[in-house]
Copies of this chain bind each other. A is one copy, B any other.
Amino acid sequence: MEQPSRLAGSVRPGGRTARVRAAVLAATQDELVERGFHGLAMDQVATRAGVGKTTVYRRWGSPAGLVVDLMKELAEQFLAHADTGAVEGDLLASALSMVEALGDKRLGPTLEAMIAAATCDDQAALALRAFYARRIEVWAKAVGLAVERGELPMGTDGPEVVRAVSAPLYYRQVVIREPVTREDAERSVARTLAAARAGEFVVAGAGV
């Protein structure tokens, strides 16, 4: 149950406040993975984190407050866009990091629990949206570079290309419930790029 947490090491050391946040977010993620959003209880998070209940209630307010802060922290992790010099390589790197995230024993169930929570909780939905907005923003830089290099038409919408690469991977894992593989990532990139080269992601008035 008490696995070493990815979060524990990733929050920069910064005195007691930062240590409390790291412990509480790690415990929140543990509870989400084990019980889902509906099973997330403030008291259990406090106990698991070894932090006073009053502190957790005062600082995070509710289970939704906990997951909002967790998603904010996760959005900043593993976040770098590849720069392989070619758009295929850059997008494939993004797609493979999605496959890895969905298959990861901690991050995968966390994302699925958040997707489930977002279907019935507005704060969870906002947290999830902010998480993906941040990743899409970073990964879309590869499309900007591809346009500069002449690999894709002027005006190609970067965030839309990244969303199109992501969509089949999430659809397969979350909706039709089949595991996603490296091959799915490769296919999604190839298909999206074929459409992008044909100008299907050009937005009127963009990129000028």
Contacts of A126 in B (CB 8 A): 177
In the bound complex, residues from chain B placing their C-beta under 8 Å from that of A115 are 115-116, 119, 174-175
With A36-B120, A200-B190, A200-B191 given, is the CB distance from A174 to B176 under 8 Å?
no
Cβ of B195 and Cβ of A119 under 8 Å apart? Answer: no
A66: interface (CB < 8 Å): no
In residues 117-176 of chain A, which contact B (Cβ within 8 Å)? 117-120, 125-126, 128-129, 132-133, 163-164, 166-168, 170-172, 174-176
Main secondary structure of the interface of A (DSSP, over half): helix
Min distance, Cβ A58 to any Cβ of chain B, angstroms: 28
State in angstroms the CA–CA spacing of A119 and B38 once bound together: 12
A178 cross-chain contacts in B, Cβ below 8 A: 129
Bin chain A's interface residue count.
35 or more
Q: How far is the CB of A146 from chain B (nearest CB, A)?
A: 16
Identical copies of this chain, number: 2
Inter-chain contact B174/A167, CB cutoff 8 Å: no
Residues from chain B with a CB closer than 8 A to the CB of A168 are 163-164, 167
Docked-complex contact A194 and B198, CB < 8 angstroms: yes
- How distant is the Cα of A38 from the Cα of B117 in the complex, in angstroms? 11
Q: Are A175 and B170 in touch, CB under 8 angstroms?
A: yes
Nearest CB of B to A124, in Å = 9
Q: Let me know if A129 and B177 touch, CB within 8 A.
A: yes
| A113 proximal to B (CB < 8 A) | yes
Residues of B within 8 A of A176 (CB): 128-129, 132-133, 163
Closest CB of chain B to A164's CB: distance in Å? 6
Contacts A164-B168, A167-B171, A168-B167 given; does A119 touch B128 at CB 8 Å: no
11 A-B pairs (CB sep. < 8 Å)? A116-B117, A118-B174, A126-B177, A129-B176, A167-B171, A167-B172, A170-B170, A170-B175, A190-B195, A194-B200, A198-B198
Closest 10 CB pairs of A and B: A167-B171, A116-B116, A191-B195, A167-B167, A112-B119, A194-B198, A194-B195, A167-B168, A191-B200, A116-B119
